[in-house]
Structure 1
Amino acid sequence: MHRPATAEDEVAAELAAVRPGLVTEFTRQLPGARAAVLTRLWRGFAHEPLPWVERRESTGGGLTVRLADGRRLHGPAADPYATADRVPAVELDGVSYDRPERLMAALAVPHGTVFATELAHSVASLALARAGRPDRSDRPDRPDRPKEWPATDWEWEQQVVDGHPYHPNCRSRPGFSVADQLAYGPEHRPVVRLGLLAVPAEECLVSGSWPRWLRERGRVVLPVHPWQAEHVLERGCVEGPAAHPLMPVRTLALPEGPHVKTALSARLTSSVRDISVGSVRMAAALSAFAEDVAARSGGLLHVTRTLGAATAGSPDLAAVLRESPRRYAGPGEHVVPVAALPATGLTGSAAWTAAFARLALTVGLRLLQLGVALEAHGQNLLVVLSGRGEPLRLVYRDLADIRVGPARLARHGIALPELSGRIVTDDVAALRRKLFGSLVAGSLAATAGSGPALAAALAAAGPDLPDTPDLRALREQPLPAKALTLMRLSSAGGGDRWTHLPRPEAATGHHT
């Protein structure tokens, strides 16, 4: 009987046509990629409020998840803060599954079929990313060897091969062919050509200062992602400057200029990446506001300024120009995305991890006290390192998903600009959830690599932090985190869903 082609088969076949030299290594990487995605999926089964899970029981170093229909899942104890590929297989009623998409299909839960397809894409794309990574034998393993670190901002971003440390769709790119992934994925280190599309000025909304090189007489020239130009837009683009894709894929770095955030209507990881008209309208005011608030951090935080934003009245045709974070590095310093910190060789040190946690919490809690909750995950948050690797300052980019509390701002005499929509809220739980879920359960957890290591870093940083109600909530309450698996198994348009993780010091023994 002929076996239906899987996502792995399809990627292998496409790869044989476009990059045959990678096929053998792609095949070799598949078992590890399956374990990596299964580890992330098992984390969701162990810690998220899935409606078809009845209870969880710790059993002799493992975890049993009892389902509402009487079936049982069994696998290793699930530390929600661990980043290693720790789950090679999970049993469903005694049947072992080492492929996450097959486990998901066997569960037969609502919306599981679509999610299973995404998981299969995630495995195949992750194996492709790992197959294409360069020889890392010269990676610095000591903080006194900065000369071997990347020299440019986009080279740092290319170090992040595995994608999101906790999302089961860490590398799911069903909107991209293999050729597209090789052409546009930062982990494959491509150089691309932006498209340029001139639009009558009267059809455009422009916020901030739009540069001269993107203007013609009576027209606004919009930078366009080359995939978008080929697959979505009906109007032709002329070839623009060379650029380097960054971690968000749709954001590209010009070699001597700003970062360009483009619309990209392919579904990557779990969402379609367009730019709303509302976000363009608010861009300049939000940037100026964030710059003012960051100035109150005592020099510990910089926010990359939005230089200009423009849209031709459609989320499919818009762009944002933003400063490069490297502007905030002094001589001999490096600006490194938090997601790329493992490539520095610094994160294995408990002292370094504690110093980074101290800096990040000092800044994050200070801004939260003022009324601004950053979404400080490993892609948005960057750290300025000294020549010897000490964490000195933070840089934050992409303001689209921060939260702003008017009541807290008013208490500190900070004027609220004309902002609207989900950004504005006085819900204290929502403000804390935004910061703690992204910074502590995201950036700090992934940097530490495990619950015990995160607990040690938080304990070491704690005595130096000002005692505030927000800090007490962080110390005493369960830690909020996005329920990434639940979000993919929910109906479309459901928005963010949340869970509460066990305290880091008790993470490996958690059961409900």
Structure 2
Amino acid sequence: MHRPPTAESEVAAELAVLRPALGPRFAAALPGARAAVLTRLWRALAHEPLPWIARRESGRQGLTLRLPDGRRLHGPRADPYATAGYVTEVRLDRVAYDDPARLMTELAVPHGGGFAAELGHSAASLALSRAAQEPVSPDQAWPVHDWEWEQRVVDGHPYHPNCRSRPGFSVAEQLAYGPEHRPSVRLGLLPVPAGECLVSGAWPEDLRDGDRLLIPVHPWQAAHVLKRSCERGVTAHPLMSLRTLAIPGGPHVKTALSARLTSSVRDISVASVASSAALSAFAETLAARTDGLLHVTRTLGAATPDSPDLAAVLRESPAVYAGPGEHVVPVAALAGTGLPDSPAWSAGFARLALTVGLRLLELGVALEAHGQNLLVVLSASGTPLRLVYRDLADIRVAPSRLARHGVPLPDGLPARILTDDVTALRRKLYGSLVAGSLAATTGSRTALRAALETAVRELPRTADLAALCERPLPAKALTLMRLSPGVTGDQWAELPNPLAPDTD
């Protein structure tokens, strides 16, 4: 019987034409890539509130999930904070599955078919990403340019099963645009009459042509969405978000990219352009209250002709906040430095990150401090000195907390980011910073617990800290969200508190 092509076979076929020398390395990388995606999927099955899992039974032999129709899934005990691909197979009744896409297809849950296809793309793209790498050892010289740090992050999101899912991107486009492949990308510069554009902040003169603005356009967007060619362009280097690129000697450019990467379609809303200058100024005010422990990259300008498909945001490079001999490193890239192997280093970094995050939360701002948005300034010897934060689009702001501390609420902030709901505020910070950045940096529940235990001893005992130490840890239910197409907004899981002793 003829089987339809899989994402893996499609990538292999394209590679045979484009880069035949990569074919054997791609094939060799597939088992590890499947295990990495399966590990992320198993974490979700073990801990997210999925409605089609009737019961979970944990014991010395592993974890068994019972489905409403009587079927049973069995696999290893699931460490919600582990980042290594330790799940090599899961058994559905008596059949073993090492392929997450095949497992999800066989489960036959609502909306699982589309998700299974995305899992297949994720494993295939991850294998492609790994196949193209040359070995990098922790003692190798540290990068010189900011984008080189970003391009060391090969595996994508540490906990999302769709960590490398790029449907709509051919192999050629992944090689041409994926940051882990280290390409140079020619951003198009599309001229638009200034009178037709919404502009926030100061649009630079070198991106103007008389009475027209030159709006940077990602080449994928130009070809697939705008159906336009751009005569003018500028060379840039993609950062880990793929749609944001660094112009050498210039700003970072966030472009609209109407493709589903990981979970979201990466366009830029008109509302976010309109509010960008106000948010940037507000963030600078808040950062000034952290005694120099936090910098926020300034938004230099944003522009759109009233369309989420054509917009750009210009931001400072985080590298401007590095002093002599210092390095500004995205938190997602820290694991590759070898620094987190030291428990003392991890505890020091956790103390710095929690000090800043909790201080801002007390003032009334919850950062979405995951490993892409949060960067750390390291001394020449690797000591964490202070933090840099970028991309303010998804922070949360509590008007009542701001008022309590005498901080004016500026005009122009988007209504969707304003909330006094303490649960929403803590979810935003703890889900991104603790269940995201700190967990992924330490790489396991045991290591995360050790870092937190040391760090929290030196922090002021507030109600927010008590909630962090004593309650389950919130994390976005990423798989549930992908399987709930009719539900808007974030959905949440509660993970075992890493500061609590193991109970199974």
- TM-score bracket, shorter-length normalisation: over 0.9
Kept after mapping to 2: 8 A contact 1:451/1:504: yes
Structure 2 match to 1:225: 218
Structure 2 match to 1:263: 256
Matching of residue 131 in structure 1 with residue 124 in structure 2: no
1:37-116 matched pairs, under 5 angstroms: 37-116=37-116
1:10-25 matched pairs, under 5 angstroms: 10-25=10-25
Structure 2 match to 1:36: 36
Matching of residue 288 in structure 1 with residue 281 in structure 2: yes
Kept after mapping to 1: 8 A contact 2:396/2:419: yes
Structure 2 unaligned runs (5+)? none
SS for the counterpart of 2:355 is: helix
Kept after mapping to 2: 8 A contact 1:193/1:239: no
Deviates more, 1:362-371 or 1:267-276: 267-276
Structure 2 match to 1:370: 363
TM-score scaled by length of structure 2: 0.98
Deviates more, 1:154-163 or 1:499-508: 499-508
Structure 1 match to 2:436: 442
2:81 alignment partner AA? Y
2:435 alignment partner AA? A
1:140 alignment partner AA? P
Whole-Å Cα distance in 2 between the matches of residues 242 and 420 of structure 1? 33
Residue 420 of structure 1, CA deviation = 2.2
Q: Cα deviation per residue 1:31-56 (whole Å; 9 max; x = unaligned)?
A: 00000000000000000000001111
Deviates more, 1:358-367 or 1:222-231: 222-231
Q: Cα deviation per residue 1:29-87 (whole Å; 9 max; x = unaligned)?
A: 00000000000000000000000011111122400011122111100000000111110
Whole-Å Cα distance in 2 between the matches of residues 155 and 47 of structure 1? 35
Question: Given the alignment, which residue of 454, 462, 466 partners 1:468?
Answer: 462
Whole-Å Cα distance in 2 between the matches of residues 97 and 64 of structure 1? 15
SS for the counterpart of 1:296 is: coil
Whole-Å Cα distance in 1 between the matches of residues 415 and 115 of structure 2? 29
Whole-Å Cα distance in 2 between the matches of residues 125 and 251 of structure 1? 19
SS for the counterpart of 1:297 is: coil
Whole-Å Cα distance in 1 between the matches of residues 500 and 470 of structure 2? 13
Whole-Å Cα distance in 2 between the matches of residues 29 and 366 of structure 1? 43
SS for the counterpart of 2:288 is: helix
Kept after mapping to 1: 8 A contact 2:190/2:232: no
Q: Cα deviation per residue 1:298-338 (whole Å; 9 max; x = unaligned)?
A: 00000000000000110000000000000000000000000
| Distance verdict in 2 for CA 1:373–1:408, change over 3 Å | same
SS for the counterpart of 1:238 is: coil
2:209 alignment partner AA? E
Whole-Å Cα distance in 1 between the matches of residues 19 and 486 of structure 2? 35
Q: Cα deviation per residue 1:450-483 (whole Å; 9 max; x = unaligned)?
A: 1111111111011111111100110111100000
Whole-Å Cα distance in 1 between the matches of residues 487 and 271 of structure 2? 18
2:91 alignment partner AA? E
Structure 1 unaligned runs (5+)? none
Deviates more, 1:170-179 or 1:415-424: 415-424
Structure 1 match to 2:153: 160
Q: Cα deviation per residue 1:417-459 (whole Å; 9 max; x = unaligned)?
A: 2212321111010000000000000000011111111111111
Structure 2 match to 1:4: 4
Kept after mapping to 2: 8 A contact 1:175/1:268: no
Structure 2 match to 1:386: 379
SS for the counterpart of 2:406 is: coil
Residue 494 of structure 1, CA deviation = 2.4
| Distance verdict in 2 for CA 1:482–1:507, change over 3 Å | farther
Q: Alignment RMSD, CA only? A: 1.1
Whole-Å Cα distance in 2 between the matches of residues 98 and 46 of structure 1? 17
Q: Once the two structures are aligned, what percentage of the paired residues are identical?
A: 74
Residue 165 of structure 1, CA deviation = 0.6
Q: Cα deviation per residue 1:265-318 (whole Å; 9 max; x = unaligned)?
A: 111111110000000000000000001101100000000000000001100000
TM-score scaled by length of structure 1: 0.97
Residue 216 of structure 1, CA deviation = 1.6
Kept after mapping to 2: 8 A contact 1:79/1:507: no
Structure 1 match to 2:203: 210
Residue 495 of structure 1, CA deviation = 2.0
Question: Given the alignment, which residue of 442, 445, 467 partners 1:451?
Answer: 445
Residue 4 of structure 1, CA deviation = 2.3
Residue 200 of structure 1, CA deviation = 0.9
Structure 1 match to 2:241: 248
Question: Given the alignment, which residue of 429, 432, 446 partners 2:423?
Answer: 429
| Distance verdict in 2 for CA 1:441–1:69, change over 3 Å | same
Residue 509 of structure 1, CA deviation = 4.7
Kept after mapping to 1: 8 A contact 2:452/2:499: no
Kept after mapping to 1: 8 A contact 2:469/2:499: no
Whole-Å Cα distance in 1 between the matches of residues 384 and 447 of structure 2? 18
Kept after mapping to 2: 8 A contact 1:452/1:505: no
Kept after mapping to 2: 8 A contact 1:80/1:507: no
SS for the counterpart of 1:194 is: strand
Residue 171 of structure 1, CA deviation = 0.3
2:138 alignment partner AA? P
Matching of residue 328 in structure 1 with residue 326 in structure 2: no
Whole-Å Cα distance in 2 between the matches of residues 219 and 508 of structure 1? 61
How many residue pairs were aligned?
503
Structure 2 match to 1:486: 480
SS for the counterpart of 1:362 is: helix
Residue 2 of structure 1, CA deviation = 2.8
SS for the counterpart of 2:203 is: coil
1:57 alignment partner AA? E
Q: Cα deviation per residue 1:103-154 (whole Å; 9 max; x = unaligned)?
A: 0001000000000000000000000000001122xx234xxx7xx0011110
Whole-Å Cα distance in 2 between the matches of residues 306 and 73 of structure 1? 48
| Distance verdict in 2 for CA 1:198–1:488, change over 3 Å | same
Kept after mapping to 2: 8 A contact 1:77/1:508: no
Structure 1 match to 2:187: 194
Residue 239 of structure 1, CA deviation = 3.0
Structure 1 match to 2:118: 118
Q: Cα deviation per residue 1:167-215 (whole Å; 9 max; x = unaligned)?
A: 0000000021100100000000000111001111111000000000111
Kept after mapping to 2: 8 A contact 1:275/1:318: yes
Kept after mapping to 2: 8 A contact 1:263/1:273: yes
Deviates more, 1:2-11 or 1:44-53: 2-11
Whole-Å Cα distance in 2 between the matches of residues 238 and 134 of structure 1? 34
Whole-Å Cα distance in 2 between the matches of residues 157 and 134 of structure 1? 15
